[in-house]
């Protein structure tokens, strides 16, 4: 699905209630021989119960590191520093000791990683993968855990779930393995699910099936979700709000339909322009964004997108733009945001 298709869809209902997750001024810095690399550099966001937030941007923009930092999987040590606030369901994640933090995993927050092949132990059967965390979170006997495992596989749309329990990961297709990973993430009934590129390397048909499963589970469980993707078409019709990241920072955020219909940041506009159009004439040249993302060990002064921006002005390379309040309806980090034009939402 492209953003053009999504514009004609009925908007998803956004739950604008108290935030389940509140991230404020989060920084994740890796110390390297070339100097500090600020993979996440001052990011803030809010996610409410039942809301789906899309994180988009090019590879290397900091999306996955942000998701892992929120989970507390990026621990501060001699080579890594993490600052800022992550409050999940009233718990300050980074203020907790490792044991208390582990108690949050599965029950309050869970993560679906990019590659299901590396998320599953190749020498353990699917039933073993599910039974251990089920007994840990819910107790009960092995037979009860087995019944719950069958029910979880059924919830994520896996046919013949009883037979799948006896199979090894390599006996399942990529789409089936991804569903098993989703089932694993749901074992503890989490209130927040972070899905990091959950459809990577899947064909289009299976991709849609997996996304349909995630969307249905969010609605049935009133679960919040952060959907991390570089695919704007995936995010277009599946999220309530979108946060666009570039070089470790948020450059634009707002309701998905409004941002895609009238992007205010030149980077968001360039991303949307680079998507192939179904209605384009054959052999139409694809639009690209000139240049490369900046070296985060030596980021440029001023706006980090300025060296690639066709709208840059003199002050863009000297003055650093500041993002407005991310909890508001729209926010953009640009000294000269694109002006709305007549004909679309928000007057664009």
pTM beyond 0.95: no
Per-residue model confidence (pLDDT) at position 340: 65
* Mean pLDDT to the nearest integer, 173-178: 89
pLDDT at 105 over 60: yes
Residue pLDDT, tens place only, 227-280: 999 888 889 989 999 999 999 999 999 999 999 999 999 999 999 998 888 788
Residues 78-97 pLDDT 10s: 789 999 999 999 999 988 88
The two tokens of residue 216 are 């249905």
Q: Please provide the CATH number assigned to the domain covering 1-108+191-348.
A: 3.40.50.300
Give the C-alpha distances (Å, rounded to integers) separating 165 from 37, 55, 61, 210, 272. Answer: 43, 33, 38, 19, 42
- Return the DSSP state at 261: H
For the chain, domain boundaries: 1-108+191-348, 115-189
Determine the pLDDT at residue 342: 44
pLDDT by residue (tens digit) across 271-292?
Answer: 999 888 878 888 888 888 999 9
Q: What is the pLDDT of residue 253?
A: 96
Burial letters 34-70, b for 16+ CB under 10 A, else e: eeebbbbbbbbbbbbbbbbbbbbbeebbbbbbbbbbb
Q: Give the DSSP letter of residue 1.
A: -
Instruction: Give the tens place of pLDDT for each residue, 199-232.
Output: 876 788 888 888 898 999 899 888 999 999 988 8
Cα separation, 206 vs 186, in Å, equals 20
Model confidence at 293, pLDDT cuts 50, 70, 90, reads very high
- 67 Cβ partners below 8 Å, 6+ apart? 55, 111, 194, 196, 226, 228
- Write the pLDDT tens digit of every residue in 33-81: 999 999 999 999 999 999 999 999 998 899 999 999 999 888 777 789 9
Strand partners, 254: 242
pLDDT higher than 50, residue 337: yes
Q: Is the pLDDT of residue 198 over 90?
A: no
Residue 236 to residue 17: CA distance in whole angstroms? 22
Higher pLDDT: 340 or 288? It is: 288
- Quick one: pLDDT at residue 297? 93
Q: How confident is the model at residue 345 (pLDDT cuts 50, 70, 90)?
A: very low
pLDDT at residue 208 in the model: 86
Q: Is the pLDDT of residue 304 over 50?
A: yes
Q: What is the pLDDT of residues 123-170, one digit of tens each?
A: 999 999 999 899 888 888 889 999 999 999 998 889 999 999 999 999
pLDDT at 17: 59
Dist CA 215 CA 195 (whole Å): 11
**Can you give the pLDDT at residue 153?**
93
How far apart are the C-alpha atoms of 82 and 285, rounded to whole Å? 43
């Amino acid at each position: 699905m492209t953003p053009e298709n999504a514009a004609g869809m009925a908007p998803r209902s956004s739950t604008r209630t108290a935030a389940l997750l509140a991230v404020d001024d989060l920084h994740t810095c890796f110390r390297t021989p070339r100097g500090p690399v600020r993979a996440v550099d001052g990011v803030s966001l809010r996610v409410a119960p039942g809301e789906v937030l899309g994180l988009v941007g090019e590879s290397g923009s900091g999306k996955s590191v942000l998701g892992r930092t929120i989970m507390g999987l990026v621990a501060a040590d001699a080579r890594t520093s993490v600052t800022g606030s992550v409050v999940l369901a009233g718990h300050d994640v980074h203020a907790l000791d490792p044991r208390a933090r582990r108690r949050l995993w599965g029950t309050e927050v869970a993560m679906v990683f990019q590659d299901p092949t590396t998320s599953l132990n190749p020498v353990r059967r699917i039933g073993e993968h599910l039974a251990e965390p089920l007994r840990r979170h819910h107790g009960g006997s092995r037979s009860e855990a087995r019944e719950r495992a069958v029910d979880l596989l059924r919830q994520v749309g896996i046919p013949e779930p009883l037979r799948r329990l006896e199979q090894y990961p390599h006996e399942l297709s990529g789409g089936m393995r991804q569903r098993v990973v989703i089932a694993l993430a749901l074992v503890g009934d989490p209130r927040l699910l972070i899905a990091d590129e959950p459809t990577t390397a899947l064909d289009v048909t299976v991709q849609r099936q997996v996304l349909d499963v995630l969307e249905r589970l969010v609605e049935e469980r009133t679960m919040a979700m952060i959907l991390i993707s570089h695919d704007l078409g995936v995010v277009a019709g599946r999220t309530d709000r979108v946060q666009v990241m570039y070089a470790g920072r948020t450059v634009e955020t707002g309701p998905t339909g409004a941002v895609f219909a009238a992007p205010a940041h030149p980077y968001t506009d360039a991303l949307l322009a680079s998507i192939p159009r179904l209605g384009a004439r054959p052999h139409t040249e694809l639009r690209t964004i000139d240049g490369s993302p900046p070296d985060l060990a030596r980021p440029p002064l001023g706006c980090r997108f300025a060296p690639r921006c066709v709208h840059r002005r003199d002050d863009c390379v000297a003055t650093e733009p500041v993002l407005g309040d991310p909890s508001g309806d729209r926010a953009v980090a640009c000294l000269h945001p694109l002006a709305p034009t007549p004909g679309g939402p928000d007057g664009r």
